Amino acid sequence: MRFVVAGGGTGGHIYPALAIARGLKARYPGAEILYIGTAGGMEADIVPREGLPFKGIVASGLKRKLSLSNLAVLWQAGYGFCQAYRTIRRLRPAAVIGTGGYVCGPVLLAAALSKIPTLIHEQNALPGITNRILARFVDRITITFAASVDYFTPRKKVRLTGLPVRPEILQVEKSCHPGKSGIEGGRLSLLSFGGSRGARTINMAMVEVIKKFAGDPRVDIFHVTGKAGYNEFVENCAARGIDMGNYGNITVKSYIYHMQDVLAAADLVLSRAGAATLAELTAVGIPAILVPYPYASENHQEFNARALEKEGAAMVVPDQKLNGKLLCRELEALLSGRDRLSEMAAASKKMGKRNALADIIDCVAELVGY
């Protein structure tokens, strides 16, 4: 069997596509999978490193205001469609799966016009423009958040599957971890991070939090600054008279390579609201304070965070309102009211989709007939 997987532009599109490709390989041993992405995108570097054949095509997005550059974009879209159409007609794959990004437009449209079964996966609560357009043409739509269903018609195409989570995250057993402090009593473990590159707003606020709770026997703090922000963070702490070597309950790192290890011990997470992060937190059942990245396209992180807040799994603090005093106040309230934290943890676990990948592959199997 042959499959085509497409997705590009950001890691949020690329890594779910790679997870689906691995899932297809597991379900259909011996299957041939071609990854189609943007010729100059991140995927052109990442995908070959994962051992998958890669085909780069031309693709870019329209500007949101009138611009002469949109004429070039339209030409590129037409050329990219021709590239995708020729490739798909030659391969005749059993199905074509897209995970978002401009490149999915020409690829999924070419497949649909070729009468090949098609599926798109949407990671965010607010679907991207490409997926919203493609929804009219594809055979199946899989979504991460229940809130996304309102953006797609007809609804009978839509399946709530969740977002594939890395296997090492799914293997986390919080109750058995030797460093687990427990929500119900004892020391509360806070994990804070802003993504692989860090988040300056979160770093600035965490200086105040560490100042207040350094040496506090009720809480352990594990803060990840991001590589770019580490030196500034340490300098800011020093300027506030914080010598982290004097406190056994404070750990600061620039980067974490094995996130599953720190998640296993975390009772509460402070982070941005990317779809992959939230999928991991809910898969493990960790409550969160979420600070959506304000410059994400169409403010989609805000929609992601609000989806968790609506279910009681998280509280949301807008980036422009985040500061150390607010965080200290919220953390103090949670330390004083562990029942609320337990309820948030239960709500988070209820939202988790640990079988997301298998459910997506089941949808593909329905389309191909076995």
Examine the domain organization and report whether 155 and 196 are in the same domain. Answer: no
Dihedral angle computed from the Cα positions of residues 300, 306, 308 and 314, in that order, rounded to the nearest 10 degrees: 120
* Mean pLDDT per 10-residue segment, the chain (370 residues): 93 92 96 95 93 90 54 73 95 96 93 97 93 94 96 92 91 55 69 82 96 94 93 94 86 89 92 95 96 92 97 97 96 91 96 96 96
pLDDT of residue 181: 46
Examine the domain organization and report whether 229 and 342 are in the same domain. Answer: yes
Examine the domain organization and report whether 70 and 158 are in the same domain. Answer: yes
Helices (runs of H) and strands (runs of E) counted in the chain: 14, 13
Examine the domain organization and report whether 58 and 152 are in the same domain. Answer: yes
Examine the domain organization and report whether 125 and 221 are in the same domain. Answer: no
Q: Tokens standing for 186?
A: 């004892």
Query: In whole angstroms, what is the distance from residue 260 CA to residue 205 CA?
Result: 24
Examine the domain organization and report whether 136 and 214 are in the same domain. Answer: no
Examine the domain organization and report whether 19 and 145 are in the same domain. Answer: yes
User: Residues 202, 208, 211, 214: is their CA dihedral positive or negative?
Assistant: negative
Side chain identity at residue 258, one-letter code = H
Examine the domain organization and report whether 104 and 211 are in the same domain. Answer: no
Examine the domain organization and report whether 293 and 341 are in the same domain. Answer: yes
Examine the domain organization and report whether 129 and 109 are in the same domain. Answer: yes
Domain that holds residue 152: 2-165+354-368
Q: Are 363 and 140 in contact (CB under 8 A)?
A: yes
Examine the domain organization and report whether 130 and 173 are in the same domain. Answer: no
Q: What is the CATH number of the domain that holds 105?
A: 3.40.50.2000
Number of structural domains in the chain: 2
